[in-house]
Structure 1
């Protein structure tokens, strides 16, 4: 089984940062190049908006994780 598939989807900043580090280490160990993960947002207003930039970023991190999973399969 692909090791990335066993990693939980991140739901917060710390979880996403940890996921990025682990996935990047797996890719590096296999010598696989993948575009960098999405950069963290810098424009959050802190009001808890529906469709917050953090929600979009977490979705982008999950998509990046899925791309890495396909490369490691």
Structure 2
């Protein structure tokens, strides 16, 4: 069951590296509280051309973080 804390985590849509890192830390802390093991969190990219590409590695990373977060919530809600 999703409670208020879980709903708040699910509402986060990171658009900056610091936001993604904070979300990862919050999800890991919540999983630890619930005694749930999680897969390794996505790692931030190390290369970006800086030209604002449509398929930027950062956009993909933020999408990976959201998917990882969603899967984590499913694990501790089951």
TM-score by length of 1: 0.90
TM-score by length of 2: 0.85
Could you list the structure 1 runs, at least 4 aligned residues long, displaced by more than 4 angstroms after superposition.
none
Structure 2 residues not aligned, in runs of 5+: none
The size of the alignment, in residue pairs, is 73
Structure 1 vs Structure 2 CA RMSD: 1.2
**1:37, 1:61 within 8 Å by CA — same for their partners in 2?**
yes
Structure 1 residues not aligned, in runs of 5+: none
Per the TM alignment, residue 42 of structure 1 is displaced from its structure 2 partner at its CA by 0.9
Identify which of 13, 20, 43 aligns with 1:39.
43
